[in-house]
Amino acid sequence: MAQLEAQKKLKIILENYFVGMKAPVAWCTSAGPAEILRALGFEVYFPENHGAMLGATRLAGKYIPKAHRAGFSGEICSYLTADIGAWLMKETPLTNAYGLKSIPKPDMIVFNTNQCREVAEWFNFYGREFNCPVVGIYPPRYLEDVSKSDIDNVVAQFKEVISVGENVLGKKLDPHELEKVVALSYEGTQLWKQVLDTARKKPSPLSFFDGTILMAPIVMLRGTKICVDFYKETLSELEELAKTQQEDSNQLRLYWEGMPIWGRLRSMAQFFNDNNSVVVASTYCNSWIFDDFNPKNPLESMASAYTKIFINRGENTKLAYMEKMLNDFDIDGIIFHDAKTCFNNSNNRFGLPKRLKDSTRIDTLTIDGDLNDLRFFSDGQTQTKLETFLEQLKSKKRISV
Amino acid sequence: MEYTLGIDVGSSFIKIALIEYSDNPKIIEITNEKIRKRNPTILINKAVNDLLERHNLKYEELLYVASTGEGELVERKRGHFYSMTTHAKGAFHFHPETKTVVDMGALFCRVMSLESGSRVKNYAMTGQCASGSGQFLENITRYLGVTIDEVGPLSLESKEPAKLSGICAVLAETDVINMVSQGIATSDIIKGIHESIARRIVSLLSKLKVESPVALSGGMSQDVGLVEVIKQLADERNLSLEIFATKNCYANGAIGAALWGGYRHYKLLEVAQ
């Protein structure tokens, strides 16, 4: 696929975001309560995004061993090990990309273990390094249903974030500002949903690999007008593009479950393209669609949205979610990525592929790899597995090879 | 007479099949070239030229040249076919009773169940670890100081096969080094390795609930010791499968590619008319 205009615009947005970041700065996990921090008056920085940058630039391989030498295991999150390794070596890809000497210094750090416990160890490490307050949100985990008491639990923890933030800044949270930010987050997230939904068209104007790039604003600029404006333009461009594309019934439509392999985005996109197939949908990109945000009820709605994320749900809820996605996007085959350092987001390990196959008859494939640590990934093995899988799907769809 | 050429580029060997293409195709010659860290593209070009020269043929006279496997390494070709399709075709064509094909190559093993002739209905393959692959077996022969051709007959001599890690190639290699230092007979170590590989293959056969007969394919199908152990383990698990390997079955991919090439040539002519 040709580069979208939106991708060019994104470069400028990200440059402005990083270069323009001024104190006070709060660090936050990607599905943490960024709205509260923004409404308090912090600029918000996301270490996970930095981890993904280290993966995409393939610098992670240089930094991960440094974290291992500092005592972090090779089998824990390679965002964490790459990011901490880079910090210990006093390097960052932000230097080459935007001329920044270092990652932004935090005045406060907030994490939410709705995705994994690694973020707690990761962010607490930086709390010790920078000697700044760290607030952890520990929501109930792996829920099938999210109850009122679960929400109340998280809201109480959000109030602690507000209290610590107010102390750091020496000013009270303006409730109207929080409502405004949550309203923008809701608008942004709904536009992001519409952007991803353009991939329902045949052929899809968008692939998972484009999505992993285009998702930056919904992660990093959620709750801002910049994010909303960006997705309005992106949506309009994708809708135009979809109109110009001719239908191709031979194209295979795939679903990606699990983390991206950041250091192989381009080669994998090319591989699928060469094999007349496209990864049209993923749990990963869809994880930043938060339908529950409601400015009239900001804290409760945020607690609900962030506790209901896919990674924090029980196996039955995950199954039902994926069944719906497979149906909505008319999927021919599912690829599970077993990321060796991301236990929490490798959803193949408790029989989900088989249960999905049984309920939908859609074939699944598991590939071994990792988000950042390419020592766990074999290009040759993966290509052979994928080729075999696509061959089988084409055969079932009666597409000539 | 019309000829088609199939070129199967594997990770260890390049197999080339020259076929006299008709309603009743005949294999004219099969070549099998070990890559040995040489440039595969140069190797393919030379092997094709030599093969054609031996049969007084020119490249332009060939009806179709088809690649399979790592097909992008083949410069002069008309089309590429996926390797499951070609292995299935190669196995089925000369043994039409075949219901299941096991491709046992240098990198991985793959079981395919067939329907309506050579159409692949379902498949399963070994995972990321190399311990289910031919390359692993070849590496081990270096520790043992035997050639790959000696492996099969030695395995058949074993009285008390050694037990190896079936999960990890690195652990299995360590096991082998320990066994050598303990003085365990080479034949017993080799049969232990065969059992480790065969267990993976038989698990795949069982998982797919395949039908008999099962045609073996790929380089490891020429290892009589491994073939015997696969049969034994399948019997022990009461799978009731007739499992067989034939003289040329290591080249089923290349043979299948050549056959598919001829089929596609005439199909395209039909469409054009």
Using alpha carbons, list the distances in angstroms from residue A292 to A151, A229, A315, B133: 12, 21, 21, 50
What pLDDT is recorded for position B167? 63
Q: Do A388 and B122 touch (CB under 8 A)?
A: no
What pLDDT is recorded for position B116? 80
Which residues on B lie below 8 Å from A395 (Cβ)?
A: 85, 119-120
Helix (H, G, I), strand (E, B) or coil at B28: strand
What pLDDT is recorded for position A27? 98
What pLDDT is recorded for position A135? 98
Which residues on A lie below 8 Å from B107 (Cβ)?
A: 380-381, 384
Q: Residue B52 corresponds to which tokens in the numbers above?
A: 């054609």
Whether the Cβ atoms of residue B108 and residue B135 lie closer than 8 Å to each other: no
Q: Residue A157 corresponds to which tokens in the numbers above?
A: 């923890």
Domain ranges of chain A: 5-172, 177-396
Q: What is the pLDDT of residues B14-41, one digit of tens each?
A: 999 999 999 999 999 999 998 888 899 9
Which residues on A lie below 8 Å from B123 (Cβ)?
A: 388, 392
Which residues on A lie below 8 Å from B128 (Cβ)?
A: 368, 378, 381
Q: What is the pLDDT of residues A49-89, one digit of tens each?
A: 999 999 999 999 999 999 999 999 999 999 999 999 999 99
> How far is A122 from B167, CA to CA, in rounded Å?
32
| Overall average pLDDT of the B58-79 stretch | 92
> How far is A249 from A389, CA to CA, in rounded Å?
18
Which residues on A lie below 8 Å from B81 (Cβ)?
A: 401
What pLDDT is recorded for position B177? 87
**Residue B169 — very low, low, confident or very high, per pLDDT cuts 50/70/90?**
confident
Find the largest Cα–Cα distance for chain A. Answer: 68
Which residues on B lie below 8 Å from A391 (Cβ)?
A: 82-85, 120
Phi, psi of A12 (to 5 degrees): -70, -45
Q: Is B209 left (phi over 0), alpha (psi -120 to 50) or beta?
A: left
B3-82: in CATH 3.30.420.40: yes
> For tokens 């700065």, what's the residue?
A25
Whether the Cβ atoms of residue B153 and residue B224 lie closer than 8 Å to each other: yes
Please give the distance of CA A75 from its chain centroid, rounded to a whole number. Answer: 20
Q: Do A384 and B81 touch (CB under 8 A)?
A: no
Q: Is the pLDDT of residue B130 over 70?
A: no
What pLDDT is recorded for position A320? 98
Two domains, one topology: B3-82 and B96-245: yes
Helix (H, G, I), strand (E, B) or coil at B110: strand
| Overall average pLDDT of the B47-59 stretch | 96
Helix (H, G, I), strand (E, B) or coil at A272: helix
**Residue B113: closest CA among chain A residues belongs to which residue?**
A392
Extract the residue ranges of chain A whose pLDDT is less than 50: 401
DSSP for B123-180, written as a single string? EEE--S-GGGSHHHHHHHHHHHT--HHHHHHHHHH-SSPPP--SS-HHHHHHHHHHHH
**Residue B128 — very low, low, confident or very high, per pLDDT cuts 50/70/90?**
low
> How far is B1 from A277, CA to CA, in rounded Å?
39
Total Cβ atoms within 10 A of residue A10: 18
Please give the distance of CA B69 from its chain centroid, rounded to a whole number. Answer: 11
Q: Residue A166 corresponds to which tokens in the numbers above?
A: 């107010």
Q: Do B125 and A392 touch (CB under 8 A)?
A: no
CATH of B96-245, one of 3.30.420.40, 3.90.1150.10, 3.30.70.260, 3.30.43.10: 3.30.420.40
Domain ranges of chain B: 3-82, 96-245
* Of A368, A390, A395, Cβ closest to residue B128: A368
Q: Residue A47 corresponds to which tokens in the numbers above?
A: 């270490």
> How far is B82 from B86, CA to CA, in rounded Å?
7
Own/partner pairs, B74-77, CB within 8 angstroms, 24+ separation: B74/B7, B74/B9, B74/B41, B74/B44, B75/B41, B75/B44, B75/B45, B76/B45, B76/B48, B77/B7
The percent of residues in chain B predicted with pLDDT above 70, rounded, is 97
What pLDDT is recorded for position A2? 59
Two domains, one topology: A5-172 and A177-396: yes
CATH of A5-172, one of 3.40.640.10, 1.20.1440.120, 3.40.50.11890, 3.40.50.300: 3.40.50.11890
A177-396: in CATH 2.60.40.10: no
* Of B11, B119, B125, Cβ closest to residue A385: B125
Tally A–B CB contacts below 8 A. Answer: 35
Mutate to test the interface with B, among A261, A366, A401 (most CBs of B within 10 A): A401
Q: Do B108 and A381 touch (CB under 8 A)?
A: yes
Q: Do B107 and A381 touch (CB under 8 A)?
A: yes
Radius of gyration of chain B (CA): 19
Q: What is the pLDDT of residues B171-181, one digit of tens each?
A: 778 888 889 99
Q: Do A395 and B110 touch (CB under 8 A)?
A: no
B131-150 burial, b if ≥16 CB within 10 A, otherwise e? bbbbbbbbebbeebebebeb
What pLDDT is recorded for position B45? 94
> How far is A172 from B51, CA to CA, in rounded Å?
84
Whether the Cβ atoms of residue A36 and residue A206 lie closer than 8 Å to each other: no
Helix (H, G, I), strand (E, B) or coil at B6: strand
